[in-house]
A = this chain, B = another copy of it.
Amino acid sequence: MPDRTQAIHFAHQNQTRFLDEMKDLLSIPSVSTDPERIPDMQKAAEWLMVELKKRHCTNIQLMPTPKHPIVFAEFNCGDPSRPTVLVYGHYDVQPADPLELWQSAPFTPDIRKDYIFARGASDMKGQIIACLKAIESIQAVGEFPVNLKFLFEGEEEIGSPNLEPFIRSHVELLKCDMALNPDSGMIAADIPTVVYGLRGLAYFEIRLRGQTTDLHSGIWGGVVENPANVLASLIAGMKDADHRVTLPGFYDRVRSLTEKEKAEMSRLPMDEAYYLQSTGARALAGEKGYSWVELASTRPTLDVNGLYSGFTGEGSKTVIPCYAMAKVSMRLVPDQDPEEVRQSLVKYIEAHLPATMTCEVLIHAGNPASFTDLNTPGVKALEAALTTVYGKQPVFKREGGSIPVVLHMKRLLGAESILTGFGLPDDNLHAPNEHLNLPNWFRGIDTLIHFFYNLVK
């Protein structure tokens, strides 16, 4: 029996234990944006270090950054002529709020039918565990075919502020032939997917201040301008009735889709019904002149992610607030530049801000879009692995999300990222009741076993 068949057999025999280990990691509330979760961030990182030790890694390190540490490790297969794969992952998760909308506690993993429910199940602790368990399954039955490095960061959900400097200052340590990045996903449980393009992200916080204090809306209403009203007007003016962003020059650098790309996208099984069902939206809405799948992956966006002003409690309070805040982010496509987008936003605000207000624009993230070359050995190995496990050719698609590390890997290490992952579109990423489809996750482990074997002819 060839090694790979034995490894797959091992994986199948150990599914229950693999699941228990995923539960362990999901139970740690490693929310990177929350200062109170710093001890849990440490705990999640240490959990991974113990696991890497079991995977026979060497040089396992918890490497500090100005915020959350990076877990690094190496595995030497004994043959330096074999390729080196850098496995990327992030052990941080999004905040779980609003808590009251969860049907089970976000950090108490709960299996219901074919799904495990927990914050981070799909994005992306489950994906990290799938990689580690694929590696374990191969190691359990014979020699591991390639060299490995591991880079697990703790800041992906806050825009990876320290990742680029870290990679830049550890180029030699991180040197590799390709990166395996399982932070992507599949279109559907029966459609194996290879992702080759990602949108970028520019994320801002707009803070408007009017007077120095909240004022009584009866006594002063009519003469004092209201920052919440002004903020609403600013946001409203950022898009026109056709859902196009109005910030000056916003579309100047947007690359048009080629006819070939348009044809490829039209073959994806992602029509209006798909988006309606996946999102629970009553109706879709988007920029005119593009198909839904084009809009969701190849066109830039502008979304309010958060709004706050004045009195938001139960009942009423008759104030003119002195402060209003909006978190506003744009998904970027080739060749938009995050810094140019920031300048455009600032210019727009300056042009429309009344003399009654001051405005501050904070930057939470700024990453351009990225592309992967489809003709590399890594992509070919993944394509073959997916074909074997799912019994059909994968589809190739661009994705709407942002994975800044893909860009850094290419620019700083010269490494293409192989984008995979076994989450599904309705996993409720970043939302209450995040979950992961377990049958697909087990197929994911099988796929990754094939992938590693496929890298060596």
Contact = CB atoms under 8 A, between A and B. Distances in A.
Given A33-B314, A306-B309, A201 B218 contact: yes
A342 interface: no
A377 B318 CA distance: 33
B285 A312 contact: no
A4 interface: no
Interface residues of A, number: 101
Nearest to A298: B222
Contacts of A311: 95, 97, 305-306, 327
Interface stretch (A14-22, A55-63, A228-236): A228-236
B321 A219 contact: no
Task: Count copies of this chain in the complex.
Answer: 2
A396 interface: no
A354 interface: yes
A357 B220 CA distance: 33
B219 A280 contact: no
A417 interface: no
A205 B318 CA distance: 12
A355 B281 CA distance: 10
A175 interface: no
Interface stretch (A134-142, A381-389, A427-435): A427-435
Interface string A270-287: 000001001111111111
Contacts of A229: 235-236, 239, 302-304
A296 B221 contact: yes
Given A217-B303, A222-B301, A279-B211, A316 B158 contact: yes
21 contacts: A33-B313, A97-B313, A199-B218, A203-B318, A210-B281, A213-B432, A214-B431, A218-B400, A218-B402, A219-B425, A220-B296, A221-B296, A221-B400, A223-B279, A223-B292, A223-B295, A228-B304, A228-B307, A229-B302, A232-B307, A233-B235
Closest 9 CB pairs of A and B: A218-B401, A236-B236, A33-B315, A228-B304, A232-B235, A316-B364, A222-B295, A221-B301, A307-B309
